[in-house]
Structure 1
């Protein structure tokens, strides 16, 4: 019987900072995000939330969309894989595990009073300004 390796991560959480977009020398977009996801534990008879923080990397057109439409505090669902990397900085060996996202699902849309970057009191050009009471059924 042969062993099958599975490297799959599915995670929901909130962004802890605004996404950072950059490009490779070849022009491919890459977006870095950090999300927090709570783990609930019972401690002394009471439920407490322990935050866990994850670095997430998104590539290509999806990276552009994340940088354009997401901002600090927004909830997202990530599906991807874990990737371990190591490097040397100032003669010190460092390592990190990050999530490389295959898909990022935006769990909420910007509110009417918020542009996609989270700035308040901005309604995008061409946005409908309908009062729900004025809609005929």
Structure 2
């Protein structure tokens, strides 16, 4: 059995950080994911608004670095939960429990460069900070990559 989801979209509002009574951080936000379909007069665009939940260190990282309108990739699993509301009706909620979030744009959107930073549920950073190449072979924002003959496997 497999329950795995990968989404790329923009946040519809700033993440909402809360803490459980036990002190565990939890963040909720909504991701607007474009959906294309063929309408009567060509291609039209719609969006699905998908609720995302993150826990612990990932929740705090998302609350600190994600903002409304930012592009992000979310990897996780679908969860359906239910509860009884005040009128006694059963309410079902479908959401994504994220264990990895990639920030696809830098904090300064005007610069036009995404740094690909992110975090996973174990708190490890998923990318480089601006100005640092690190071990990322694709760092350079579209500039040619210098590859020597010794680097090729064939």
TM-score (norm 2): 0.69
The 2-side partners of 1:47 and 1:78 are apart by: 26
The 2-side partners of 1:111 and 1:97 are apart by: 32
1:22–1:52 distance in 2 versus 1, CA, 3 Å: same
Cα deviation per residue 1:49-85 (whole Å; 9 max; x = unaligned)? 1110100000011110100111110010000000000
Cα deviation per residue 1:8-61 (whole Å; 9 max; x = unaligned)? 000000000110000111111100010100111111241111110100000011
Pick the structure with more strand per residue: 1
Aligned to 2:37: 41
Q: Is residue 106 of structure 1 aligned with residue 103 of structure 2?
A: yes
2:71 to 75, 89, 112: 75
1:112–1:47 distance in 2 versus 1, CA, 3 Å: closer
Q: 1:61 aligns to what SS in structure 2?
A: helix
Q: Unaligned stretches of 5+ in structure 1?
A: 114-137
What is the CA RMSD across the aligned residues, in angstroms?
1.8
Q: Is residue 19 of structure 1 aligned with residue 15 of structure 2?
A: yes
Count residues with an aligned counterpart: 111
Cα deviation per residue 1:87-110 (whole Å; 9 max; x = unaligned)? 001111100110000100000011
